[in-house]
């Protein structure tokens, strides 16, 4: 199963606005994606509550995984999104 590990760049981590932007981007992918912190249990990346429950702060390394055709491209896109400061005013579409 392909994986990508990335440090959360948003100043507030994956909380509130950054988490919403990330979860919406995952939902648009049409593929089951999971996210975890360290060796923790993976949670569905399309669930706002699950993503918030990770408590991923600024600089926390998270690992994304997905399976299926195009998974590598989906993970690359989502990792690129998390590597940006999603608290900033202008956020590109993922």
- The 10 Å CB-count burial string (b at 16+, else e) for 21-52 is bbbebbeebebebbbbbeeeebbebbeeebbb
Nearest to 6 by CA among 46, 64, 48: 64
Active-site annotation holder among 4, 8, 14, 15: 15
Is there a catalytic annotation at residue 58?
no
Residue 36: enclosing H or E segment and its boundaries?
Answer: strand 33-37
Q: Give the catalytic positions in this structure.
A: 15
């Amino acid at each position: 199963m392909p994986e990508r590990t990335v440090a959360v760049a948003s100043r507030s981590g994956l909380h509130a606005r950054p988490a919403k932007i990330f979860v919406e981007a995952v939902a648009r992918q049409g593929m089951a994606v999971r996210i975890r912190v360290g060796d923790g249990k993976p949670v569905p990346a399309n669930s706002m509550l699950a993503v918030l429950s990770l408590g991923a702060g600024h600089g926390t390394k998270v690992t994304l995984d997905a399976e299926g055709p195009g998974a590598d491209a989906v993970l690359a896109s989502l990792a690129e999104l998390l590597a940006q400061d999603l608290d900033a005013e202008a956020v590109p579409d993922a």
